Amino acid sequence: EIVMTQSPVTLSVSPGESATLSCRASQSVRTKLAWYQQKPGQAPRLLIYGASTRATGIPARFSGSGSGTEFTLTISSLQSEDFAVYYCQQYDHWPPLTFGGGTKVEIK
């Protein structure tokens, strides 16, 4: 089973600043990595797939990068609606599909 590790657990950022979230895989997942945003009481929403491709309707301030075992989600100029929990998910080696533990982006 591929273990996904996200850091930091919590990230405090002021509105308008940028945020950099990390995700590490226990072995290479090539670029089969997705990012999701989840707000309280809601289902997750797909942001990025293929490590760097934005999903339909996702603003350009969200960008993903990386391959192999190291991945990054960058949110530039954070808006109020961006404060949420973010999860990475690998889909290269399955079953099982696996998620990281999440990073909470909170208002500083």
Residues that bind another protein (CB under 8 A): 1, 32, 34, 36, 38, 43-46, 49, 55, 87, 89, 91, 94-102
Q: How far is the CB of 43 from another protein (least distance, A)?
A: 4
Give the nearer residue to another protein in terms of CB position, either 37 or 69. Answer: 37
Q: How far is the CB of 15 from another protein (least distance, A)?
A: 25
Q: How far is the CB of 7 from another protein (least distance, A)?
A: 14
Reduced 3-state DSSP string for the chain: CCCEEEECCEEEECCCCCEEEEEEECCCCCCCEEEEEECCCCCCEEEEECCCEECCCCCCCEEEEEECCEEEEEECCCCHHHCCEEEEEECCCCCCCEECCCEEEEEC
Give the nearer residue to another protein in terms of CB position, either 16 or 95. Answer: 95
Give the nearer residue to another protein in terms of CB position, either 18 or 64. Answer: 64
